[in-house]
Amino acid sequence: MCRWIAYRGETTLFENYVTEPVHSLITQSLRARESAGPTNGDGFGLGWYGVHPEPGLYRETRPAWSDENLRYLCRHLQSHMFFAHVRAATGTPVTRQNCHPFACGRWMFMHNGFVGSWSRLRRRIEAMIPDPLYPSRSGNTDSEAIFLAIMGAGIDEDPIAATRTVMTRLRALLNENGLRERMRFTAALANGQDLYAFRFAENDSANSLYYRQAGDRLIVASEPYDGEPGWIEVPANHVLLSKSAHEIELFPFMPNEPELKSEHPGAPRVVARA
């Protein structure tokens, strides 16, 4: 499984969160503690927001621990909102186009997980991507296909509802004819202002996800990068929403029933407000 970190808050250097902590993302690429496999060496990527509405991206196929560019970049790049990801491939090639994060317009996305039998489902999942968005598909991962499907499901109007719509369609595909295939969806989504983090699984246990708020800074990560107090686990089947680093809300994400009963099942719970 992949490892990732999302940051929002005061403008800061990437190295403070990506490369310098005792259990940094580079360390996790070699020795993850809360993953099915400890090694995440199938490439890495950085995504960030700066002076332009659309995010900047840097992605590479080399393992994070062996690429000196990553340390140099993290020492100099700074942003108020950024993603960092180390990849463990789940069946698709190790290419730059398949490394996370992915970007389309002002939106950025990264994912830890997999979707059933991708070879069986790929054609139907890609069919969820509207024609105007399909040229944005540069790789062949399930993650990028899901992202573009979410884009086409109304992400600008309601990102949570758009993601839930796509997950509902995937749930139907996974469970058709009694197959009960597995899916893990622990993902981050951002538009330069708002940050969303999802922890969900179908017919499986959800991958780990934590957050920590420190003053004007919010960090969401696959696993804690240090032993300091303040890390809180995101409950399974929840989405974390942060419209500012001062306030965090947790929503129940997917209903237990196959069909959606309401647009936002469950009331939001404000878990932090500065």
- The identity of residue 33, as a single letter, is R
Q: How many CB atoms lie within 10 A of CB 92?
A: 20
Q: Which long-range contacts (CB under 8 A, 24 or more apart) does 253-262 make?
A: 253/160, 253/164, 253/167, 253/198, 253/199, 253/200, 254/164, 254/167, 254/168, 254/171, 254/200, 258/168, 258/171, 258/172, 258/175, 259/168, 260/164, 260/165, 260/168
Provide the CB-side half-sphere exposure for 219 (13 A, CA). 25
Closest CA to 260 of 168, 177, 191: 168
SS3 87: coil
- The identity of residue 44, as a single letter, is F
Does the annotation mark 2 as catalytic?
Answer: yes
Marked catalytic residue, from 2, 74, 99, 104 = 2
Cα of 218 vs its chain's centroid, Å: 15
Distances (CA, A) of 57 to 50, 96, 123, 171: 11, 11, 27, 31
Which active-site residues does the annotation give? 2
